[in-house]
Structure 1
Amino acid sequence: MDTRLLLVSHAATAAQRAGRFPADDPLDSRGRAEAEAARARLALPADATVFTSPAASARETVAALGLSATPADALADVDYGKWRGQRLADIADEAPRELAAWTREPDAAPPGGESFDRLVRRIGEWLDAQQADVRSCNAVNEAGFAASAHRRTIVAITHATLLRAAIVHALDASPTVFCRIEITPLSVVELRHSRRGWSWWPSATA
């Protein structure tokens, strides 16, 4: 059985628009409206297994999209450490070298936080665990050969940083490319797993 995974970045928050590092911020009325408006455009499969980051922004995006989802800690946003909730402009004034390193070097991390390198490993472990679950189900399924002809679809509502990390893992790319991957709110990244491993597909949510 192949796996089709649709990773969706949550709707924008007021903190994002203000240039602040996330601090488990909820959606505001504008963000909820944008997520509700995107519901028809995204057309996420009704038969998908749905997971979400535990963050308020992701869970509220799930609700606005009319979905029901299981929280997964592995889908949590990158840990911003001491920068959590602070304005990017303030960090640029107070710690320019550390901020510059964080935006360019995948093994650099905010003080007390998580590096992009570590994030790639985290989401990679989760992605591979999803496919391991499929193999386990097929192994005990009496109709395993028939089941293998079908595709399991997963939807994960999470954060832009996780979508970047998932692309890097799927392509087995150098984490140094992370700063060149742009993800906007309510973007969709489609990954598929087959005998060749994970592949990045053009976005097509229907």
Structure 2
Amino acid sequence: MSVTATSLRLVAHAHTAALRRAVFGGGAEPLDEGGSRAASALAPTGPDGRGPLGRIDVCLSTPAAAGLQTAYALGLRPTPEPALADCDYGRWTGRSLEEVADWEPDAVRSWLTEPDAAPHGGESIGALLRRVGGWLDGQADRGGRIGVVTHPVVIRAVLVRALGLPPPVFWQLDVAPLAVVRLTGRGSRWQLQLTAPAAATD
């Protein structure tokens, strides 16, 4: 019996002013002018109508403004998905890592080294991994091509789950704004796809 394949095309939302300042929760703001322009430049053009995600059947997005605006700029019609929301950084929201490290260094140290630590009063990295991992597990047998527009941190969590990586590897992954990650799943197994530029719109 064949297993229906699910193709996920994940794209990190474009820049916001807060994201450029590298503050916690930078995706809650609308896109800045540069981010909006960069996302719009990737919108489908020409008769084939294909953009960086290729042909998709449905688009899911973080409920945050940055994700929804990026999806619309790409010519998509997103459905907000709470499981794709940014990590809740509690009282650190709006502050940079450097600022918080000066303010409460012990708290930052525990947050960076203990997956279930939440010294900011929000969501721990471990909780983020479980939330996003649960969502990913639910997509495995869905089938079709699914576009996903969300936060870089959520895409990092998806990769940890999809590739069966240990939680500390989360900190070694870097996802830039408008980066595209492709995963193909059959049952509970996911495969990371790295495509050449010429094949990016297949």
TM-score grouping bracket, smaller chain normalisation:
0.7 to 0.9
Partner secondary structure for residue 5 of structure 1: strand
Cross-structure match for 1:137: none
2:123 aligned residue: 114
Normalising to structure 1: TM-score of the pair? Answer: 0.84
Instruction: Tell me how far 1:88 sits from its aligned partner.
Output: 2.7
Aligned length: 189
Which stretch shows the higher mean deviation, 84-93 or 162-171?
84-93
TM-score, scaled relative to structure 2 = 0.86
Spell out, residue by residue over 1:25-80, the C-alpha distance to the aligned partner (whole angstroms, 9 max, x if none).
Answer: 11111110111123359532334210000001101111111110100000000111
Sequence identity of aligned pairs in percent? 42
Q: 1:198: how far off?
A: 1.7
Q: Structure 1: which 5+ runs fail to align?
A: 135-150
What aligned pairs does 1:112-191 form with structure 2 within 5 A after superposition?
112-132=121-141, 134=142, 152-191=144-183
Partner of 2:20: 17
**2:55 corresponds to which of 46, 61, 64:** 46
The amino acid of 2:177's aligned partner reads P
Question: Runs (4+) of structure 1 moved beyond 3 Å?
Answer: none
Could you report, residue by residue, the CA deviation over 1:80-137 in whole angstroms, capped at 9, with x for unpaired residues?
Answer: 11111123332121011212332333222242111111111111111121234x3xxx
User: In structure 2, what is the Cα distance between the partners aligned to 1:190 and 1:152?
Assistant: 13
Cα separation, 1, equivalents of 2:75 and 2:34: 17
The separation in 2 between residues aligned to 1:117 and 1:87, in whole angstroms, is 21
More helix by share: 1
Residues 47 and 177 of structure 1: CA distance in aligned 2, closer, same or farther (over 3 Å) = closer
Work out the CA distance in 1 between the residues paired with 2:165 and 2:20.
30
Q: Report the aligned-residue RMSD.
A: 1.9
